[in-house]
Amino acid sequence: MTLPAGTRLGPYEVLSPLGAGGMGEVYRARDKKLDRDVAVKVLHESVGADSETLVRFEREAKAVAALSHPNILAIHDFGNHDGIAYPSWSSGGETLLSWERSWKGKMKIPDALNPLGFDSSSRIRVGLDRRFRRVGKEFLLPLVTILILVGNRGVASAGVNRWTTNGPEAGIILALAIDPAIPATLYAGTTRGVFKSTNGGGSWSAINTGLTESNVRALAIDPTPPATIYAGTGDVLDNGGVFKSTNGGDSWSAINTGLTNKTINALGIDPATPATLYAGSYVSGVFKSTNGGDSWSASNAGLTTTGVFALVVDPSAPATLYVGTNPLFPTGGGAFKSTNGGASWTAMNAGLIDTAVLVLAIDPTTPATLYAGTGGYGVFKSTNGGGSWTAINAGLTNPPDGGIGALAVDPSAPATLYAYSGDNGGVFKSTNGGGSWTAMNAGLTNKTIGALAIDPLTPTRLYAGTGGGGVFDWEGLATPTTRGQPRVVHFRSGG
């Protein structure tokens, strides 16, 4: 299907089709960031779904980028966008036709690229040949050629003061984590494993070596050496468990000794003693490790409900922690508190009319202030460490019909918080500690949110992982941009 004029692919706006072949379609487009015309090649779905193609594509782009020669097109950029891998090439300001004619009788374009080591089946080599033969006569390419590799196509328009989306997603996002030392480094837990970005979502890479379970439900980063990451994984069949990486996700090892249930919904780290970890499991309660996950033991005394869906550690008193449970596993439910590192628990449910507590958030500056997202009655707030709770749902459109699936508190202005109101309700914001809420969903094409995370150094930047639409982010600036695999879509707001 031909993309219509006006379709946005990242920073590029489609102007008109230029040609089509066995591998894909080529469009004339405008780079809205740098105000220049480009060629965009969109490969057919069957090609973009080929993992070997993606690997070869990146390898060849890196090989070309490492070269410098007047007869070789220089690669300016290589990245991923909406499941789309792309390099950008300089063309020296010539028309494609004049460039092709300059080689006529001397060397074919594939031969010109042969010193790079591309074999005759190379998709870049074949694609370039077709690109110049079929499209070169039809338009002027002032600066750059962009080849874009896609698995599916998505269409949306960009705009100021709204979320924008530009294509396919790379899996349902279940968890997000931000490196506290280098916030441009992000991790996304998805139904297809873990993805990592080192440029604030500009591009993503799958980092799943050693990760034997693809459903990543929780992520936690050791605050002292941020290269140490933990992933809580699993499915309802009890496959998965906890995995650990000590090299920024380059490789993972299972650390499940002592875990009697390997479906892990939540993870927590003691910030004062990072070797002390907590894992909330689907049916077996809380597990604790004091040796960085080498071994685990159940910590469930007083915990009448062992289906743990949320877990937070008090940052100022790490022996104090809270869990949110589901009354179906097996009875009771609600919020529980421990003041002795999980050795014993006490139910903290006064005023909590819904005891299916799916998410918890803690005010980092006043840890006695807690927020609980419930399965059907919205958000509840406690200002006394869980001693009592009050519903704070003014402006939330879904309760009591939809649950609260994600919560985040601004660390620099804790009266500002964000919530996902379930059943496709999208993201809501409060600037008065939950006293009232306002929807912030303009352009948010997928309103099912699996995770929310705030940049600790730039709290105006919020990331939202969606249930099928990838990762979106919102910045307190005024120019929209888009990027990323598993897909990051920027919204820059004026306020």
pLDDT tens sequence across 411-437: 999 999 999 987 778 899 999 999 999
Q: Is residue 451 assigned to a domain?
A: yes
What's residue 417's pLDDT?
94
Ranges of residues in the chain whose predicted pLDDT is under 70: 1, 10, 12, 19-25, 33-36, 39, 41-171, 236, 328-331, 398-402, 443, 475-495
User: What angle separates helix 96-103 from helix 123-135, to the nearest 10 degrees?
Assistant: 110
**Number of folded domains in the chain?**
2
Q: Are residues 213 and 247 in the same domain?
A: yes
Q: Are residues 135 and 198 in the same domain?
A: no
Q: Is the dihedral of CA 273, 276, 281, 285 positive or negative?
A: negative
SS3 331: coil
What's residue 379's pLDDT?
95
Closest CA to 421 of 397, 390, 445, 446: 397
Q: Are residues 276 and 394 in the same domain?
A: yes
Q: Are residues 435 and 397 in the same domain?
A: yes
Sole residue written with tokens 């159940």: 298
What's residue 236's pLDDT?
67
Q: Is residue 277 assigned to a domain?
A: yes
What's residue 402's pLDDT?
63
Q: Is residue 213 assigned to a domain?
A: yes
What's residue 393's pLDDT?
93
Q: What values do phi and psi take at 284, rounded to 5?
A: -120, 20
Exposure string for 33-55, b = 16+ CB within 10 A, e = fewer: eeeebbbbbbbbeebbebeebbe
Statement: the pTM of the whole predicted model exceeds 0.75: no
CATH code assigned at 20: 3.30.200.20
Q: Is residue 327 assigned to a domain?
A: yes
Among 114, 148, 182, the domain-final residue is: 148
Q: Is residue 271 assigned to a domain?
A: yes
Q: Is residue 159 assigned to a domain?
A: no
Q: Is residue 168 assigned to a domain?
A: no
Domain that holds residue 60: 8-148
Peptide linkage before 142 cis (omega within 30 of 0): no
Q: Are residues 316 and 399 in the same domain?
A: yes
What gap in Å lies between CA 181 and CA 204, rounded to an integer? 19
Q: Are residues 229 and 370 in the same domain?
A: yes
Q: Are residues 187 and 223 in the same domain?
A: yes
Query: How would DSSP label each residue in 302-329?
Result: T--B--EEEEEE-SSSTT-EEEEE-TTS
What's residue 44's pLDDT?
56
CATH code assigned at 438: 2.130.10.10
Q: Is residue 167 assigned to a domain?
A: no
Q: Are residues 332 and 451 in the same domain?
A: yes
Q: Are residues 123 and 235 in the same domain?
A: no
